[in-house]
C-alpha cells in the first residue's frame, strides 16, 4: 500500500463546564489489501476491552472498552 493523502482535524474546547477534546486522522491509500471473502460471526454478550498493538514495538495503536455491548 502507498499513501496518497493525509488529513487531520482536532478540536479542543475548554470552558467552565469542562473539557471536550477530539481528533481524527484520515489516511487515503492508493492501493489496498485484497477483499476478505470469509465471513466471521462474533457474538459479544458481556463487557470487554481490546487493544491493538504494533508487533515490533509493542506500542498501542488502538484501545477500546465496551461496557455495554447491547449498544
pLDDT digits (tens, 9 = 90+) for 48-66: 888 888 889 989 887 888 8
**What string of DSSP letters covers 44-57?**
--S-EEEEEE-TTT
Q: For residues 10-28, give the mean pLDDT.
A: 82
pTM higher than 0.75? no
Separation CA 65–CA 17 (nearest Å)? 25
Write down the pLDDT at residue 47. 92
Q: What is the pLDDT of residues 31-50, one digit of tens each?
A: 767 777 888 787 889 998 88
Cβ 27 vs Cβ 4: under 8 Å: no
Report pLDDT for 32: 66
Return the closest-CA partner of residue 68 out of 40, 44, 41, 42: 44
Amino acid at each position: 500500500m502507498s499513501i496518497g493523502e493525509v488529513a487531520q482535524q482536532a478540536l479542543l474546547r475548554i470552558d467552565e463546564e469542562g473539557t471536550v477534546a477530539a481528533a481524527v486522522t484520515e489516511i487515503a491509500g492508493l492501493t489496498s489489501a485484497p477483499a476478505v471473502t470469509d465471513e466471521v460471526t462474533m457474538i459479544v454478550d458481556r463487557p470487554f476491552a481490546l487493544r491493538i498493538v504494533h508487533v515490533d514495538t509493542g506500542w498501542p495503536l488502538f484501545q477500546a472498552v465496551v461496557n455495554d455491548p447491547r449498544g
